[in-house]
Protein backbone atom coordinates (compact mmCIF):
# COMPACT_ATOMS: atom_id res chain seq x y z
CA UNK A 1 0.00 0.00 0.00
CA UNK A 2 1.11 3.52 -0.68
CA UNK A 3 1.91 5.93 2.15
CA UNK A 4 3.28 9.43 2.53
CA UNK A 5 5.36 11.02 5.28
CA UNK A 6 5.74 14.70 5.95
CA UNK A 7 8.21 15.05 8.76
CA UNK A 8 7.88 18.77 9.35
CA UNK A 9 4.60 19.47 11.11
CA UNK A 10 5.07 23.15 11.74
CA UNK A 11 7.58 25.47 10.11
CA UNK A 12 8.11 29.13 10.99
CA UNK A 13 10.08 31.34 8.62
CA UNK A 14 10.74 35.03 8.17
CA UNK A 15 9.80 36.68 4.90
CA UNK A 16 12.42 36.22 2.17
CA UNK A 17 13.76 33.03 3.76
CA UNK A 18 14.06 29.94 1.60
CA UNK A 19 11.67 27.08 2.08
CA UNK A 20 12.03 23.34 1.75
CA UNK A 21 9.32 20.97 2.94
CA UNK A 22 10.05 17.28 3.00
CA UNK A 23 7.87 14.58 1.51
CA UNK A 24 8.73 10.89 1.35
CA UNK A 25 6.49 8.21 -0.02
CA UNK A 26 6.45 4.47 0.24
CA UNK A 27 5.57 2.49 -2.87
CA UNK A 28 7.75 0.38 -5.08
CA UNK A 29 6.09 1.10 -8.41
CA UNK A 30 5.37 4.11 -10.57
CA UNK A 31 3.70 7.00 -8.83
CA UNK A 32 1.99 10.30 -9.48
CA UNK A 33 2.92 12.97 -6.94
CA UNK A 34 1.20 16.16 -5.87
CA UNK A 35 1.56 19.12 -3.58
CA UNK A 36 -1.60 20.87 -2.45
CA UNK A 37 -1.92 24.07 -0.43
CA UNK A 38 -4.69 25.04 1.97
CA UNK A 39 -4.86 28.71 2.91
CA UNK A 40 -6.57 29.50 6.22
CA UNK A 41 -10.28 28.82 6.00
CA UNK A 42 -10.12 27.63 2.41
CA UNK A 43 -10.19 24.39 0.47
CA UNK A 44 -7.17 22.55 -0.88
CA UNK A 45 -5.72 23.81 -4.14
CA UNK A 46 -3.21 22.14 -6.40
CA UNK A 47 0.28 23.68 -6.29
CA UNK A 48 2.03 21.31 -8.65
CA UNK A 49 2.08 17.73 -9.85
CA UNK A 50 4.54 15.21 -11.20
CA UNK A 51 3.50 12.44 -13.56
CA UNK A 52 6.62 11.80 -15.64
CA UNK A 53 9.47 13.53 -17.46
CA UNK A 54 11.59 16.29 -15.94
CA UNK A 55 11.89 15.51 -12.23
CA UNK A 56 12.04 19.22 -11.41
CA UNK A 57 8.49 20.47 -11.52
CA UNK A 58 7.48 24.11 -11.41
CA UNK A 59 4.14 25.10 -9.96
CA UNK A 60 2.17 28.20 -9.22
CA UNK A 61 3.33 31.12 -7.07
CA UNK A 62 7.03 30.36 -7.50
CA UNK A 63 6.94 26.90 -5.95
CA UNK A 64 8.86 23.96 -7.34
CA UNK A 65 9.41 20.35 -6.33
CA UNK A 66 12.00 17.78 -7.21
CA UNK A 67 11.24 14.10 -7.62
CA UNK A 68 14.19 11.95 -6.54
CA UNK A 69 13.24 8.38 -7.28
CA UNK A 70 16.19 6.83 -5.46
CA UNK A 71 15.18 8.61 -2.27
CA UNK A 72 11.41 8.21 -2.72
CA UNK A 73 11.18 11.93 -2.14
CA UNK A 74 9.27 14.86 -3.58
CA UNK A 75 10.36 17.91 -1.61
CA UNK A 76 8.72 21.29 -2.10
CA UNK A 77 10.88 24.40 -2.41
CA UNK A 78 10.56 28.14 -2.76
CA UNK A 79 13.57 30.46 -2.84
CA UNK A 80 11.93 33.36 -1.02
CA UNK A 81 8.69 33.04 0.95
CA UNK A 82 6.13 35.76 1.46
CA UNK A 83 3.68 36.36 4.28
CA UNK A 84 0.91 35.27 1.89
CA UNK A 85 2.47 31.78 1.73
CA UNK A 86 1.23 31.14 5.26
CA UNK A 87 -0.83 27.99 4.80
CA UNK A 88 -0.86 24.25 5.28
CA UNK A 89 0.87 22.16 2.64
CA UNK A 90 -0.02 18.59 1.80
CA UNK A 91 1.98 16.11 -0.19
CA UNK A 92 0.01 13.33 -1.90
CA UNK A 93 0.85 10.16 -3.80
CA UNK A 94 -1.07 7.96 -6.18
CA UNK A 95 0.14 4.54 -7.24
CA UNK A 96 -0.35 4.76 -10.95
CA UNK A 97 -3.32 2.77 -12.15
CA UNK A 98 -5.00 2.72 -8.79
CA UNK A 99 -8.00 4.74 -7.68
CA UNK A 100 -6.80 6.23 -4.44
CA UNK A 101 -4.67 9.21 -3.62
CA UNK A 102 -3.01 9.15 -0.20
CA UNK A 103 -2.32 12.45 1.54
CA UNK A 104 0.36 13.24 4.06
CA UNK A 105 -0.50 14.73 7.43
CA UNK A 106 0.40 18.21 6.30
CA UNK A 107 2.95 20.89 7.20
CA UNK A 108 1.77 24.19 8.60
CA UNK A 109 3.92 27.04 7.35
CA UNK A 110 3.87 30.33 9.20
CA UNK A 111 5.69 33.23 7.56
CA UNK A 112 6.51 36.13 9.82
CA UNK A 113 6.61 39.58 8.22
Partner 1 sequence: DAGITQSPRHKVTETGTPVTLRCHQTENHRYMYWYRQDPGHGLRLIHYSYGVKDTDKGEVSDGYSVSRSKTEDFLLTLESATSSQTSVYFCAISESQGGDQPQHFGDGTRLSIL
Give residues in contact with partner 1 (CB under 8 A).
6, 9, 31-32, 34, 42-46, 49, 51, 90, 92-106
- 109 and 91 Cβ atoms separated by less than 8 Å: no
Q: 7 vs 79, which CB is nearer to partner 1? A: 7
Minimum CB separation from partner 1 for residue 12, in Å? 17
Q: 42 vs 80, which CB is nearer to partner 1? A: 42
**What does the DSSP assignment read for 5-18?**
E---SEEEEETT--
Q: 63 vs 90, which CB is nearer to partner 1? A: 90
Minimum CB separation from partner 1 for residue 14, in Å? 25
- 31 and 25 Cβ atoms separated by less than 8 Å: yes
Kindly give, in sequence order, each residue whose CB lies less than 8 Å from that of residue 42, ignoring residues fewer than 6 positions away: none
Minimum CB separation from partner 1 for residue 76, in Å? 15
Q: CB-hemisphere CA count at 13 Å for 45?
A: 11
- 104 and 5 Cβ atoms separated by less than 8 Å: yes
Q: 17 vs 108, which CB is nearer to partner 1? A: 108
Amino acid sequence: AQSVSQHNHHVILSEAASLELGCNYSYGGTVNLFWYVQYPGQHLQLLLKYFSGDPLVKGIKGFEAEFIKSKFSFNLRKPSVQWSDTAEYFCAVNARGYQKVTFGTGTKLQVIP
